[in-house]
Chains A and B, each alone.
Chain A
Amino acid sequence: MRRLVLLAVAALAIARPGGAQWMNVPRGASNVAASAPRAADGHPDLSGIWMAENQRFFQDLAAGLRPDEVAALPWARALSQQRESRLHSDDPLAHCLPHGVPRINTNSNFPFKIVQTPGLVVILYEQLTLFRQVFMDGRWLADDLNPTWLGYSTGRWEGDSLVVETRGFNDKTWLDTNKGRPATEALHVTERFRRPTFGTLEIVATVDDPKTYEKPWTTAPQRLRLQSGTELLEMVCLENEKDSSHLVGK
């Protein structure tokens, strides 16, 4: 039963057809082991369609870490356990609500696309048809924000890494799916995006939420692969949606 629910959360849309919508798509470099391309401003160009290598971090964002590295406060531990005992039926994603950050990067069943321009990086996500804007035009966040599912992001380059800082979350974030780790409005996520080869993207995320975790913690490197010869499909979660009424939990 639990595995079934997890599967439903992971897949959501079962019928993912082939990517033969487009013809004459320009070929990228055929050698995915080549070095990353560069934008006109000399920074690595992260543009492309990416997908997580597997479900590892989607299920457990702390995969590969020692238990003592992720010290949840008692209320957060209790909420995690409640979510597991309710068979994950409360997962927002299972109700067509956004994944939260950084979970949104981790589902290997759906690709996302990075569109990089000098002042703005846009990330388009196939699952739920969501987007994020990462502002690199010098703006900064006001103190008094509407809380959101995906936060407000600014970016900067540190060498060849794009460092994205995101704040302004609501308190409904699930950091991961199997574990159901919570977060509060104090959540501050730092994602470091790096493209070590043409065909590989690496993400390392730091979760800083003093209301939920005793200390900040940082994921192991998450690997994603370039998806060539395909494109994002339209996914409209609420269309003919039949799952949520069956997700009753315990």
Chain B
Amino acid sequence: MVRHARAAVLALSAALAAASPAFAQWKNIPSAPSLAAPAPRTSDGKPDLTGVWQADGQTYFFDLAAGLKPEDVVMLPWARALQQQREANEHGDDPLARCLPHGVPRINTNGLFPFKIVQTPTLVVILYEQLNLFRQVFLDGRTLSGDVNPTWLGYSTGRWDGDTLVVDTRGFNDKTWLDTRKGRPASDALHVVERFRRPKYGELEIVAKIEDPKAYARPWTTTVQRNHLQTGTDLLEFICAENEKDRAHMK
């Protein structure tokens, strides 16, 4: 029974909207070439990451440390206790189950909802279908001030390292869940480095580094998260607060 309840809550967190319908909204969408072709390039010679992407599965959404050894991710005692409490509480505290943002880098990992990258030379916008969120990644030379409002999704700057877009994000609140089944916490000292690479036309790789000295004994880095290009479709409108019936049933 407990297992069933937990599975149900997890499924709820994962899906939120069961009714993600078919996507025949648009006709005459420009078609993509072979997905095995090389990544396209922008006029400034950088790889163009623009496109609709979706995680290969739920692996990292559930466990951001998937594929790592236990000793790679060393939580401080308070963080471990909180993580265990979240599991014991059957994930009923997950912000995502209350229509609140996923946090970073969890926001990239849900294999049930696509996101869209819109790349310009000085600004990369990422639009997320789930909860209808967006992030801005600034590549115009700006720097973050020392005193920022804490946020769910942080403040992001980017730079190119060869063919990899490296995104630095700071300025988080202390409510981040790094993943869903594990419920790993983070503090307001969290600094996430996401490395986005498009090895071929149809594929996007993300590697995320977690640095949070208040929560983890040392920085740790995920294994390679694969995402697939979603062709012939686009993001749907997702309004979590509309007719929301779940919250009342969660402990």
Contacts and interface: CB of A to CB of B under 8 A. Distances in A.
Interface of A: 17, 20-26, 40, 95-98, 115, 117, 119-120, 122, 124, 129-131, 133, 135, 137-142, 144-146, 148-150, 152, 168, 231-234, 236-239
Given A141-B25, A236-B100, A21 B132 contact: no
A120 B118 contact: yes
B142 A22 contact: yes
B246 interface: no
Which of A141, A152, A234 is packed against the most chain B CB atoms within 10 Å? A234
A237 B27 contact: no
Contact of B134 (A23, A124, A149): A124
Contact of B28 (A20, A120, A138, A236): A138
A117 B241 contact: no
By Cβ-Cβ distance, the 10 closest A-B pairs, closest first, are A148-B237, A234-B151, A22-B142, A96-B241, A139-B26, A25-B142, A139-B28, A24-B142, A139-B29, A21-B148
Contact of A22 (B101, B143, B239): B143
A26 B138 CA distance: 11
Interface in B95-116: 98-101
Contacts of B171: 21
Contacts of B147: 20
A168 B141 CA distance: 39
Contacts of A124: 125, 134, 136
Interface of B is mostly: loop
A227 to B, nearest CB: 14
B140 interface: yes
A22 to B, nearest CB: 5
A137 B30 contact: yes
Contacts of B134: 124, 129, 131
A150 B236 CA distance: 11
Interface of B: 21, 24-30, 43, 98-101, 118, 120, 122-123, 125, 127, 132-134, 136, 138, 140-145, 147-149, 151-153, 155, 171, 234-237, 239-242
B239 A97 contact: yes
A25 B234 CA distance: 32
Given A120-B118, A146-B21, A146-B236, A17 B98 contact: no
Interface of A is mostly: loop
A23 B242 contact: no
B132 A146 contact: no
A98 B28 CA distance: 28
A28 to B, nearest CB: 11
A26 B121 CA distance: 14
Contacts of B28: 138-140
A93 to B, nearest CB: 11
A142 B22 CA distance: 12
B151 to A, nearest CB: 4
B100 A239 contact: yes
Contacts of B125: 115, 122, 124
B148 A135 contact: no
22 contacts: A21-B145, A21-B148, A21-B149, A23-B145, A97-B242, A98-B239, A115-B118, A115-B120, A115-B123, A119-B30, A124-B136, A129-B133, A133-B234, A135-B26, A137-B30, A144-B24, A145-B25, A146-B236, A149-B239, A168-B25, A232-B136, A234-B152
A234 B153 contact: yes
Contacts of A145: 25
Which of B147, B235, B239 is packed against the most chain A CB atoms within 10 Å? B239
Given A117-B118, A120-B118, A139 B145 contact: no
Contacts of B123: 115
Contacts of A17: 149
Contacts of A24: 141-143
B26 A238 contact: no
Contacts of A137: 29-30
